[in-house]
């Protein structure tokens, strides 16, 4: 019989919170799997059973934060160590390998360091191209000896995403543009256990329905890693136009960012968020100098702004975007609201006093309030269809 054995990482360290972390992990795993597939915690492993094909189940498990390793195993019954050795005559190995034995059942009569070479000898005898290499093997044959006469045997191991189960750390709102960076920022927030709601600013008619669809696709892609968040679409045309009309154009982008943060904070507070995430990256573009980035810090009064990509290289961000499947969507050529209003020469080091002077030309609070009243919550298609998460404005 085939069984999938999953290991989890940091949850081991969580002391009194371990139960909560593990329950959340199990909930996320069960939601990601087809209904008939069973998952249960056994000792320090998660055992997944009752599937016909392992490949789609492994693919789903590889998208669950908190799992570190995923192994498809043969589950065999044994009475004596010889039964396991007999089974190993059927295992196919080519190239270099080593055998790792874990003896969870301490009553098993042969100790692991003695049993592993015995297993290796059997494999060598039945696989002419196999060679032992304990330093750098191509294949690890893992033999886990469990209680009650059961052993799990695997010849391959897939890496899980690691991190923490989505939901154990609280909630975030992430400012999401249609670009490469912000979906990666949302993914990293989830990696540390946050449920992420997305906030997107659109400026119709300057930005199209297709541009918005692209953002929906990005959010759904990010959500497929176990997120249950919603997308809040903020109609930003009036604010953008007012800034353009009344303020010095060098400050357009800085002022737009301040309004974005104010609105994201308002949406976040209404939806129980603990923090704001952005995809800002130091010195990537003119508006993301340290002065440009920090000039919106003081707008948010109740939620901290976290910027997980701040010190990444663009190529490192792109690598993650490709790995999680957002890159191909992000590079679709649709306009972003910032590109519509951004001047050719934004100020590189905005002085906060000047920014505040410029901002005084606008009725900040009224513009925010009016804009907030028109925010739309867009339902996203989640793999977690049974989510109990109720959207609020």
Contact positions toward Mg ion, by CB under 5 A? 177, 179
Q: Which does 201 bind (CB under 5 to 8 A by kind): Mg ion, ligand ATP, none?
A: ligand ATP
User: In this complex, which beta carbon is closest to ligand ATP, that of residue 104 or of residue 310?
Assistant: 310
- Least separation in angstroms between residue 280's CB and ligand ATP is 5
From the list 297, 294, 238, 229, the residue with the least C-alpha distance to 268 is: 229
Cα-Cα end-to-end distance for the chain: 49
Query: Can you tell me which of 103, 171, 200, 214 binds ligand ATP, judged by CB under 6 A?
Result: 200
Q: Which does 66 bind (CB under 5 to 8 A by kind): ligand ATP, Mg ion, none?
A: none
Query: Can you tell me which of 338, 362, 368, 371 binds ligand ATP, judged by CB under 6 A?
Result: 338
User: In this complex, which beta carbon is closest to ligand ATP, that of residue 217 or of residue 278?
Assistant: 278
Is residue 336 at the binding interface for ligand ATP, with CB under 6 A as the rule?
yes
Taking CB under 6 A as the binding criterion, the range among 37-45, 88-96, 275-283, 369-377 that sits at the site for ligand ATP is: 275-283
User: In this complex, which beta carbon is closest to ligand ATP, that of residue 150 or of residue 367?
Assistant: 367
3-state secondary structure the chain: CEEEEEEECHHHHCHHHHHHHHHHHHHHHHHHCCCCCEEEEECCEEEEECCCCHHHHHHHHCCCCCEEEEEEEEEEECCCHHHHHHHHCCCCCCEEEEEEEEECCCCCCCCHHHHHHHHHHHHHHHCCCEEECCCCCCEEEEEEECCCCEEEEECCCEECCCCECCCCCEEEEEECCCCCHHHHHHHHHHHECEEEEEEEEECCCCCCHHHHHHHHHHHHHHHCCCCCCCEEEEECHHHHHHHHHHCCHHHHHHHHHHHHHHHHHHHHHHCCCCEEECCCCCCCCHHHCHHHHHCCCCCCCCCCEECCCCCCCHHHHHHHHHHHCCHHHHCCCCCCHHHHHCCCCCCCCCCHHHHHHHHCCCCHHHHHHHHHCCCEEECCCCCCCCCCCCCCC
Is residue 61 at the binding interface for ligand ATP, with CB under 6 A as the rule?
no
CA–CA dist 368, 363 (Å, integer): 9
- Least separation in angstroms between residue 346's CB and Mg ion is 13
Give the count of beta carbons closer than 10 Å to the beta carbon of residue 335. Answer: 15
Is residue 179 at the binding interface for ligand ATP, with CB under 6 A as the rule?
yes
Taking CB under 6 A as the binding criterion, the range among 35-43, 59-67, 282-290, 349-357 that sits at the site for ligand ATP is: 282-290
User: In this complex, which beta carbon is closest to ligand ATP, that of residue 51 or of residue 232?
Assistant: 232
User: In this complex, which beta carbon is closest to ligand ATP, that of residue 124 or of residue 318?
Assistant: 318
With CB under 6 A, what is the number of residues at the site for ligand ATP? 21
Q: Which does 321 bind (CB under 5 to 8 A by kind): Mg ion, ligand ATP, none?
A: none
User: In this complex, which beta carbon is closest to ligand ATP, that of residue 142 or of residue 281?
Assistant: 281
- Least separation in angstroms between residue 4's CB and ligand ATP is 35
Is residue 228 at the binding interface for ligand ATP, with CB under 6 A as the rule?
no
Is residue 60 at the binding interface for ligand ATP, with CB under 6 A as the rule?
no
Cβ–Cβ under 8 Å, residues 162 and 193 = no
Which residue lies nearest ligand ATP, judged by its C-beta? 179
Is residue 359 at the binding interface for ligand ATP, with CB under 6 A as the rule?
no
Query: Can you tell me which of 167, 279, 308, 346 binds ligand ATP, judged by CB under 6 A?
Result: 279
Q: Which does 252 bind (CB under 5 to 8 A by kind): Mg ion, ligand ATP, none?
A: none
User: In this complex, which beta carbon is closest to ligand ATP, that of residue 127 or of residue 339?
Assistant: 339
From the list 99, 77, 88, 91, the residue with the least C-alpha distance to 151 is: 77
Query: Can you tell me which of 197, 280, 358, 359 binds ligand ATP, judged by CB under 6 A?
Result: 280
Is residue 169 at the binding interface for ligand ATP, with CB under 6 A as the rule?
no
Is residue 337 at the binding interface for ligand ATP, with CB under 6 A as the rule?
yes
From the list 156, 155, 148, the residue with the least C-alpha distance to 77 is: 148
User: In this complex, which beta carbon is closest to ligand ATP, that of residue 99 or of residue 256?
Assistant: 256
Residues near ligand ATP (CB under 6 A) are: 175-177, 179-182, 199-201, 260, 278-280, 284-285, 287-288, 336-338
């Amino acid at each position: 019989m085939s069984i999938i054995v999953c290991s989890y990482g940091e949850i081991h360290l969580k002391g009194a919170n371990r139960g909560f972390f593990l329950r959340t992990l199990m909930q996320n795993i069960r939601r990601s799997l087809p209904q008939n597939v069973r998952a249960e915690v056994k000792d320090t492993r998660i055992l997944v059973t009752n599937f016909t094909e392992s490949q789609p189940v492994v693919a789903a498990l590889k998208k669950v934060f908190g799992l570190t390793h995923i192994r498809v195993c043969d589950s065999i019954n044994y009475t004596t160590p010889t039964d396991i050795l007999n089974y190993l005559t059927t295992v196919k190995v080519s190239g270099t390998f080593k055998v790792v034995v874990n003896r969870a059942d301490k009553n098993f009569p042969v100790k692991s360091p003695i049993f592993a070479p015995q297993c290796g000898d059997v494999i060598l005898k039945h696989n002419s191209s196999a060679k032992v290499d304990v330093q750098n093997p191509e294949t690890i044959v893992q033999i886990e000896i469990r209680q009650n006469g059961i052993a799990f045997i695997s010849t391959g191991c897939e890496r899980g995403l690691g991190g923490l189960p989505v939901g154990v750390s609280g909630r975030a709102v992430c400012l999401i543009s249609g670009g490469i960076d912000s979906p990666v920022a949302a993914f990293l927030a989830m990696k540390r256990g946050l449920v992420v709601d997305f906030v997107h600013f659109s400026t119709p008619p300057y930005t199209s329905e297709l541009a918005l669809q692209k953002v929906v696709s990005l959010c759904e892609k990010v959500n497929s890693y176990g997120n249950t968040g919603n997308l809040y679409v903020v109609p930003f045309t009036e604010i953008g136009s007012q800034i353009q009309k009344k303020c010095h154009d060098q400050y357009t982008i800085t002022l737009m960012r301040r309004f974005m943060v104010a609105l994201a904070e308002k949406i976040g507070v209404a939806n129980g968020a603990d923090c704001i995430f952005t995809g800002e990256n130091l010195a990537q573009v003119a508006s993301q100098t340290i002065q440009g980035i920090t000039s919106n810090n003081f707008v948010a009064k109740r939620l901290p702004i976290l910027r997980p990509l701040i010190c990444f290289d663009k190529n490192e961000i792109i690598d993650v975007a490709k790995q999680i499947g957002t890159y191909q969507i992000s590079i679709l050529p649709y306009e972003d609201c910032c590109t519509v209003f951004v001047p050719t020469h934004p100020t590189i080091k905005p002085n906060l006093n000047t920014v505040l002077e410029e901002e005084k030309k606008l009725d900040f609070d009224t513009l925010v309030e009016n804009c907030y009243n028109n925010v739309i919550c867009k339902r996203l298609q989640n793999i977690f269809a049974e989510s109990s998460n109720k959207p609020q404005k």
